[in-house]
Structure 1
C-alpha cells in the first residue's frame, strides 16, 4: 500500500471520529488541558463514566488523536497527540 493511500485512510479515520459531536467536544476539551482522566472528561461533558465514554475514547485513540498518557490506580489519563491534531485540524 502506498504512503498516499495510508495517509488517506488515516485522514478518513480522524475525520470520521471528529464527525461525532461528543468526540469533537472531547478533543476540544483536551486541547485546552494538558491531560485529563476519564472521570474529569465525563464531568466536564456531563457524561457518566460508562461504556459510552469508553467507546468515544477508544475511537479517538484508535485514529491516533488521543493517547493514554498514564494510569494511576483505576484512573486513566489521556492527552492529545498534537502532531495528528495539527495535521488534520485547522487552527
Structure 2
C-alpha cells in the first residue's frame, strides 16, 4: 500500500461522523445498508451523510451500488484489510520479536 493512500484513508476515518458511518457499515456485513437505513440508524441529516459518504467512497473504504432506486453502501473489506495490514505488517520488525505485544487501551 502506498503511504499517501493509507494517510488519506486514516484521515477520512479521523472524523467522528465518518468513523461512525464506517463502523455501522462494517457491522452490516457484505450486504451493506441502504442510505436511508444508515441515515435512520445514525440519526444524521441526509446532506451530512452524503457529504461524509463521498469522502469514504473517494478513499476506497466504502462502495456504493444502486439497486433500482435504492443506493446500497458497503464497507470495502479488501481496502480495510489492506489498511490494517499496512499498519501491522512490520510490527516489531526492528526489535526482532515474534509479534506485537498486545495492550488494551481504554
Same fold judged by TM-score > 0.5? yes
Inter-partner Cα distance in structure 1 for 2:51 and 2:36: 14
- Equivalent-residue separation in structure 1 for 2:66 and 2:35 (angstroms): 11
1:44-81 Cα offsets, whole Å, 9 max, x none, are 101122x21111000000000001122321x2111111
Report the Cα distance in structure 1 between the residues aligned to 2:24 and 2:67, rounded to whole angstroms: 19
Task: Please give the alpha-carbon distance, in whole angstroms, between the structure 1 residues aligned to 2:33 and 2:52.
Answer: 14
| Deviation of the 1:12 alpha carbon | 1.1
What TM-score do you get using the length of structure 2 for normalisation? Answer: 0.72
Do residues 44 (structure 1) and 30 (structure 2) align?
Answer: no
Structure with larger Rg: 2
Which residue of structure 1 aligns with residue 64 of structure 2? Answer: 68
Uncovered stretches (5+) of structure 1, i.e. residues with no partner: none
Q: TM-score, normalised to structure 1's length?
A: 0.82
Instruction: Say how many residue pairs are matched.
Output: 83
Q: Is residue 58 of structure 1 aligned with residue 54 of structure 2?
A: yes
Structure 2 residue ranges without an equivalent (≥5): 86-106
User: Which aligned segments of 4 or more residues in structure 1 are displaced greater than 2 angstroms?
Assistant: 69-72
